[in-house]
């Protein structure tokens, strides 16, 4: 574990007690300065275990949820991972420390550009941030060993399961716009899929293919 500011150390120890004892995941979180992914006026709160607002009406997820989703992917180090919903880039930065390659897609162009710049500034070179298109995920770059979705869908999108390699894991919030269940889908070697429910959560809705319809302004 690196030398950390006191607040960051306290957060990591809180995650160790309440979420996971996976040292690789905890070290990746410790190595990723959350204060660099929020606006300057929110930096005093960066290491609190709470979601914080970012640009374009989005949020940076609560660290507890980030740790839970990351641990659920069970990354060993040589995987290709798809990150759906780049947002600030915080989750992609953590994943980058745990796998070989991250492909991250974001529908909001301003978020995509600022996240890519932030990752570049932090010296993270194994993340490619792409503009989300008319299809969900990045099927042209599939298959992926793991997929993480940082937005809620009404059901598990078949289009994402189709982008998994055999044995791959998809972690996604599934439910209504208001409340969801964090769900892990594993694509078995024989093509069957299994689902596990990991706990209640609340995410912004996935808009577009595989998600919810956009609400009228």
For residue 1, what pLDDT is reported?
55
Q: Is residue 167 part of a domain?
A: yes
User: Does 22 fall in a domain?
Assistant: no
Distance (Å, whole) CA 152 – CA 66: 14
pLDDT at 2: 59
H or E segment at 81?
A: strand 80-84
- Beta bridge pairs of residue 144: 164
- Number of structural domains (the chain) is 1
Question: Among residues of the chain, what percentage have pLDDT more than 70?
Answer: 98
pLDDT of residue 145: 99
Residue at 43 is within a domain: no
Which residues participate in catalysis according to the annotation? 61
106-115 tens-digit pLDDT: 989 999 999 9
Q: Identify whether 89 is part of a domain.
A: yes
Q: Which residues contact 143 (CB under 8 A, 6 or more apart)?
A: 80, 163, 164, 165, 168
Residue 1 lies in a domain: no
Q: Per the domain annotation, does 212 fall within a domain? A: no
What CATH number is attached to the domain comprising 101?
Answer: 3.40.50.150
- The two tokens of residue 212 are 């919810």
- Name the residue with higher pLDDT: 179 or 5: 179
Range of the domain at 160: 62-201
Confidence of residue 22 (pLDDT cuts 50, 70, 90): very high
Kindly report which listed range (35-39, 130-134, 174-178) carries the lowest average pLDDT score.
130-134
User: Within a domain: residue 92?
Assistant: yes
* 11 belongs to a structural domain: no
């Amino acid at each position: 574990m690196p030398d950390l500011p006191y607040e960051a150390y306290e957060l990591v120890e809180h995650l160790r007690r309440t979420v996971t004892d996976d040292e690789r995941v905890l070290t990746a979180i410790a190595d990723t300065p959350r204060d660099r992914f929020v606006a300057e006026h929110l930096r005093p709160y960066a290491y609190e275990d709470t979601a914080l607002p970012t640009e374009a009406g989005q949020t940076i997820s609560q660290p507890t949820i980030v740790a839970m989703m990351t641990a659920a992917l069970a990354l060993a180090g040589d995987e290709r991972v798809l990150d759906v919903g780049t947002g600030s880039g915080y989750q992609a930065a953590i994943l980058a420390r745990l796998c070989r390659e991250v492909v991250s897609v974001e529908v909001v162009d301003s978020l995509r550009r600022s996240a890519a710049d932030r990752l570049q500034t932090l010296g993270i070179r194994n993340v490619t941030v792409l503009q989300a298109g008319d299809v969900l995920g990045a099927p042209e770059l599939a298959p992926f060993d793991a997929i993480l979705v940082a937005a809620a869908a009404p059901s598990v999108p078949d289009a994402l399961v189709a982008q998994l390699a055999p044995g791959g894991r998809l972690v996604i919030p599934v439910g209504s716009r208001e409340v969801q269940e964090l769900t892990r889908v594993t694509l078995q070697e024989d093509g069957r899929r299994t689902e596990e429910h990991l706990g209640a959560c609340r995410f912004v809705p996935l808009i577009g293919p595989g998600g919810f319809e956009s609400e009228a302004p």
